[in-house]
Structure 1
Amino acid sequence: MSRIVYDRKRWSPNTPIFLNIRAGAGALARRQIADFGASWAAAVLGPDLKMPDAQQTNYPSVGGAPWDRVLAGGPPDTFVGDRPPGWIRGHLVNGRWHGRGDTWRNLVPLTTIANPNHATVEQYIDNYLDACRRYEEQAQRDHWYGVYYCVRASKNPLSDPSETDDAHLYAYAPEFIRIDWRAVRIDKPVDRTPLQALKNMDSYPIQPVASFSSDLRLPALPTPMYDRHVLPADNATGGELLTDLPADFPTAQDNEFDDWFEIHQVVPD
């Protein structure tokens, strides 16, 4: 799908080039007596992710205490054994987008309600990437559109403050995750083969998008995200996060796409 001018006069064949670049993740979150769960993760995602066979699975595979083993000096139970609400190892950067599943630096314990809510936001980003793919296919472009996607975990745990101690399981899960995304533009290299471009994608400058080309039609917000910034909808947004956005994360533009959203966890009764 992606094409570049690689001998100054002709365009390369359609080739997957701009998939996932600048992937980053922070240190594990310090939760009570354990370093457990991601603090943040981010990546710049490109339209080639919507090509056939370009996405991956990267199912969660990492374990350890307190996920599936009792933490010494910690809770007497594990997330695997906690019912309800039921827990999954939730990717910050989706495994389909080449986000890793073999490290807690890209995973946090999410309830079986929070994870589908995060998937609602991910579907919106998928729809945007599909629009970027269609834009790329319509004509010979001198640039790519993509998205810089960053997810951060809350500093506060899910547990009630009166129960936040070493022995309470929910003290080891974030209260919420916050998702920020920005449209980015990357100018295509000239006189490079697709393989050379692929090897150097991390070094190409990313630019914020003040406005989109009229040829690119932005997707509609999913209904659950319309006119709000949080799911479940009866939660209040806000709260301290474990880290700031990456230093190269663009400032939000008034382009009808750049935004943020929070996915809150619900303590079962």
Structure 2
Amino acid sequence: MRILVTVKHTPDLQSQRSFTDGRVTRTAEDGTMNELDENAVEAALQLVEAAGEGEVYALTVGGPDAVAAVRKALQLGVHHALHVSDEAIAGSDVFGTAKVIAAAVRKVHDEAPLDLVVTGMAALDGLTSMLPTALAAELDWSQLTLASALSVDGGEVTIERHLPDSHETVSAPLPAVVSVTDEANKPRFPNFKLIMAARKAPVTVWTLSDLALDPAQVGAGAARTTVIDASPRPPRADRIKVTDTGDAGTQLANFLIEKGLA
């Protein structure tokens, strides 16, 4: 079984967020692998382990700092790391990003067929959850999204999906694109051996020319969305500090009642 997992280098959620020229400001010190992508990595590793054979590729798209995302995936146990990095990609929206990822998937798939592409349910810097669908459309593959559990058997992938008022079990033929939620599993912790090995493990770097992709199809110029304006969130001026002298619970209850929240 051969699986490719997409992992994104995203700003730390606890950091001060800002924009530069209409784009999210990203720095090496601030970035980390998207937390929800850890569930995708874990799902891929479990499928390969259950099959008893196979390999997992981790793919990221971004500037030089984005390599940290695939390094983290290597620490978790993936076998190969791929990094698409090209200045022309900067400013891409979800559709441009999907084109780039699809081109990289085809390159890997042409070398030896892939069974699955697995993604997280969303990237925590954008939270659109649109990439899995856009990627499946680019590849013309089946898509199964928001899986809380998945399995592969007989050339078919089956997922379970929990909705507010229903529970679905859906199947599709391979190859397919699957996105998993944070309910799908509990990501493993990297062990010391893998952490050390990931530091020196090779990372294959591709540019758009390596993927035979026209730069005009991606980047800010091809984006279907534009940030018109962005400004810092104003500081909150209505904060009330309560010193607990034994009646903090009562003060909180009174405050909620006063605001019509209880």
What is the TM-score with the length of structure 1 in the denominator?
A: 0.25
Hey, which of these two has a bigger chunk of helix by percent? 2
Structure exhibiting the larger radius of gyration computed from Cα positions: 2
